[in-house]
Structure 1
Amino acid sequence: MLDLGGIDVEEIATALADQTDYEHRWLIDPRTGQVAFWTSDTGIGGENPVELDELDLIPIDPLPPYVWFQDMADFADGISDSAVGRRLTQSLQGRGAFRRFKNQVYEHHPELISPWHALRDVRAQRRAVEWLLDQGLIHHDAAQQFASEHPDPDLP
């Protein structure tokens, strides 16, 4: 088992959110907790191309988009200004919801950028810790303690 304090939880959260493509992968060394970035062209570290199946590392597959979508919906529902909440909820309808939500927050409600980042980031970190637990890399008690120390922030 790994010590959660020695793992870069934010980096794992980034990997779980990375929806870009399959030409690269995020991996974790189950012995050390070190996260590595692999690309099909340059392997790990940009030096030696290597096939994924030759590595003794665990792939960090991204979570499905609906997981991250729910954070936006919860944020829109949780803010106290109901008119702004309705506009954010409307931005989530149909294709392009992630872009529209981001545009609505950044262009029309910059005062919400910090609260949005706080909610998004703490949830992503809790998901990273849950992922580590699911992989059997950390103890259940460490995951529970992390979750209790990282609640959702209060929304404006």
Structure 2
Amino acid sequence: MGTEDAVLDPSKIDLQEIAVALEDGSDHYERRWLIDPSTGELTLWSSDTGIDGHNPIDLDELDHLIPIDQMSSRVAYRDMADFAAALSDEREAAQLSRALDGPKPFRRFRNEIHQRLPHLVPVWNAFQQHRANGHAVEWLYDNNLIDEPTFDRYRADHPDPDVP
């Protein structure tokens, strides 16, 4: 599908559902999220129950649907680093940046926010959801399901939320 065929409107698609699919680390041989390029509707396929929940079907037979692969953990890491860098309180920014250094940065970041900086939990949740929606729109663009002007307009209309 070329960009001239892109038909989807991000405002009419459940971007949160695509974001969940992009974060799903399931074994793609057992379970897979698929999107219908004509409607933007997502379907969950499993090797045991197909797409209707009852009848197994081979993924190759669903060639009209586009599989959604898990996004790289680097993207989520960058979101955490961007959030930390955007904080105006230098001490809090340093705390979160330190949490990202070393092993298990996702767990350490989450623990730092929830245990030591709980006032940032709603701010982080809003920032993370905003970024997840943006990643969904970027995925749509990268897969030629929206055109460049639509992608650019979405990005211009949805800047990162303010961080204290």
Q: Which position in structure 2 is the counterpart of 1:11?
A: 17
Q: CA deviation at 1:5?
A: 2.7
Q: Which position in structure 2 is the counterpart of 1:129?
A: 137
TM-score by length of 2: 0.87
Partner residue of 2:41 out of 27, 34, 42: 34
Q: Which position in structure 1 is the counterpart of 2:65?
A: 57
Equivalent position SS for 2:70: coil
Q: What amino acid does structure 2 have at the position aligned with 1:88?
A: L
Ranges in structure 2 where 5+ consecutive residues have no aligned partner = 1-6
Equivalent position SS for 1:26: strand
Equivalent position SS for 1:43: coil
Matched, 1:47 2:80: no
TM-score by length of 1: 0.92
Matched, 1:117 2:122: no
Partner residue of 1:144 out of 149, 152, 157: 152
Query: Aligned partners of 1:118, 1:27: CA distance in 2, in Å?
Result: 26
Q: CA deviation at 1:118?
A: 1.6
Q: CA deviation at 1:108?
A: 1.6
Q: Which position in structure 2 is the counterpart of 1:90?
A: 98
Identity %: 48
Q: Which position in structure 1 is the counterpart of 2:84?
A: 76
Query: Aligned partners of 1:112, 1:121: CA distance in 2, in Å?
Result: 14
Query: Aligned partners of 1:81, 1:45: CA distance in 2, in Å?
Result: 50
- The answer to which structure, 1 or 2, has the higher relative contact order (CA under 8 A, 6+ apart) is 2
| Post-superposition CA distance 1:43-64 (Å, at most 9, x none) | 2242221121111210011111
Query: Aligned partners of 1:59, 1:20: CA distance in 2, in Å?
Result: 13
